[in-house]
Amino acid sequence: SQQGEEDPQALSIQEGENATMNCSYKTSINNLQWYRQNSGRGLVHLILIRSNEREKHSGRLRVTLDTSKKSSSLLITASRAADTASYFCATVDNYGQNFVFGPGTRLSVLP
């Protein structure tokens, strides 16, 4: 079963706009990670945020974590056509024994 649930399922924006994707989960976590997957390829790690962190930045990526609401968001600023991909959140529980991916958000950035 999948713990993380991304929202929206699909998102289409114009180049230069910002893209925001959300992830909700059910149980306590040790950390939450975001991954990107281009069509026909494996997943690539983007960013990891630990349960005691509230916000993290990496280049054009900004991730927030609200453990009280059991939710996270991924913001991609100034999007590019090359950002077109599926984005997945993955949660790791406090025992480090369960690494669960959500169904993903399919992002299309139109030139």
Least spacing, CB of residue 85 vs another protein, in Å: 13
**Smaller CB distance to another protein: residue 5 or 15?**
5
The pair of structure tokens assigned to 8 is 């929206």
Binding site for another protein (CB under 8 A): 2, 4, 30-31, 33, 35, 40-45, 48, 88, 90, 92, 96-104
**Smaller CB distance to another protein: residue 40 or 111?**
40
Least spacing, CB of residue 111 vs another protein, in Å: 24
| CB 45 within 8 Å of CB 33 | yes
**Smaller CB distance to another protein: residue 16 or 26?**
26
Least spacing, CB of residue 18 vs another protein, in Å: 23
Rg value, the chain, Cα: 13
**Smaller CB distance to another protein: residue 14 or 94?**
94
Task: Give the other-Cβ count within 10 Å of 102's Cβ.
Answer: 21
Least spacing, CB of residue 49 vs another protein, in Å: 11
